[in-house]
Amino acid sequence: MDLTKEQLSEIEALRAQSSLTKRACAPQLEEILYEPFPVLDHGFIRVIDYMGDDAAVVQAARVSYGKGTKKVQSDAGLINYLLRHRHTTPFEMCEIKFHVKMPIFVARQWIRHRTANVNEYSARYSIMDKEFYIPAPGQLAAQSQSNRQGRGDVLQGDEAAEVLAMLKQDAETCYSHYEQMLNADADENVLDDSREGLARELARMNLTLNTYTQWYWKIDLHNFMHFLSLRADSHAQYEIRVYAEVMLDMLKKWMPHTYEAFSQYRIGGVHLSAKGADVVRRMLGGEKVTAEESGMSAREYREMLATLNVST
């Protein structure tokens, strides 16, 4: 994680300030407010602001004028009920805002979640930093033969070294050409005014997708949990999953009761189709049900058995 002296000073100043407020506060989240958490080789994520807490979810569900009940167990029980029965509106009343630095290809995958407010660093107005994501050797894997979106065996030896060298060389070469087109000095992040260069909005198209970008990302709690349920999953791409895993811990600090319910009913829960539920009922009744007799596709049947840890 690379932060400039100016950024570090700004973070230090923000973390040193405090304000009196009548708004709900999450003490554990307050402890890490503005603090950057490193992700990948040059990335980070930090919480910039938030609105609401567990009590705000309860308050919205009951449409009351107070902060919920004084019985923590009662509030936790209601949150469990809401998540278990997929009541989403009370969770939409709370929001959180992040500052994220990630490779462009991760950002393009991330932006597919069209339920947040986003403001990204603009390469039309500013010069992009000379920072690229280079995977650790353990993340250099071949294409999976069984999953078009997944990875297979990790590359080894000379093949891995060759791929790493190409990634570094391509990124360095493209950025060098980017600087030349701009007539810019990347170390000083300034332009040479002695001669004209290509417009920033055009020069940026030469950058590789492993170049780092940044954005502010604000989302409500309901959609945030949906994002985490997909991106913190073991099947998600590693480079976005590591961000989601850090955010999962931030959710725990922000909304401890909601986090526990989310872990129970979403992260650790199991969803069955109508046919899947019928197969489970038949199996519990002592019937031996084959894939052909289940009415499910072979893949769905295998996935269901794997989820339930049942062997055939």
Q: Whole-angstrom Cα distance, residue 103 to residue 209?
A: 7
Q: Whole-angstrom Cα distance, residue 91 to residue 116?
A: 14
102 has which bridge partners?
213
Whether residue 213 contacts residue 104, with contact meaning beta carbons closer than 8 Å, is answered with: yes
Instruction: Please calculate the CA angle 27-33-35 and round it to the nearest 5 degrees.
Output: 135
Instruction: Please calculate the CA angle 209-104-108 and round it to the nearest 5 degrees.
Output: 110
CA distance to 34, 168, 285, 289, per residue, from 98 (Å)? 9, 29, 49, 48
pTM: 0.88
The DSSP secondary-structure symbol of 268 reads: S
pLDDT at 248: 97
pLDDT at 195: 63
Whether residue 46 contacts residue 38, with contact meaning beta carbons closer than 8 Å, is answered with: no
pLDDT higher than 70, residue 171 = yes
Mean pLDDT of 185-195: 60
Q: Is 231 a catalytic residue?
A: yes
pLDDT at 121: 94
Longest dimension (CA), the chain: 83
Whether residue 245 contacts residue 232, with contact meaning beta carbons closer than 8 Å, is answered with: yes
Mean pLDDT of 235-249: 96
pLDDT tens for residues 63-74? Answer: 866 655 556 568
CA atoms within 13 A on the CB side of 214: 18
Whether residue 246 contacts residue 256, with contact meaning beta carbons closer than 8 Å, is answered with: no
Share in percent of the chain as helix, strand, coil (round to 5) = 50, 15, 35
Of the ranges 15-19, 104-108, 276-280, the best mean pLDDT one:
104-108
pLDDT higher than 80, residue 194 = no
pLDDT higher than 70, residue 32 = yes
pLDDT at 204: 93
CA distance to 109, 126, 169, per residue, from 256 (Å)? 28, 39, 45
Q: Whole-number mean pLDDT of the chain?
A: 89
pLDDT tens for residues 288-303? Answer: 888 888 899 988 988 8
pLDDT tens for residues 203-230? Answer: 999 999 999 999 999 999 999 999 999 9
In the set 46, 200, 204, 231, the catalytic residue is 231
Size of the chain, expressed as the number of residues it contains: 312
Whether residue 140 contacts residue 154, with contact meaning beta carbons closer than 8 Å, is answered with: yes
Q: How confident is the model at residue 159 (pLDDT cuts 50, 70, 90)?
A: confident
Judge residue 271's burial from the number of C-beta atoms within 10 Å of its C-beta, 0-12 exposed, 13-18 middle, 19 or more buried. exposed
Q: How confident is the model at residue 8 (pLDDT cuts 50, 70, 90)?
A: confident
Q: How confident is the model at residue 88 (pLDDT cuts 50, 70, 90)?
A: very high
Mean pLDDT of 261-287: 89
Calculate the CA 229 to chain-centre distance.
10
pLDDT at 230: 95
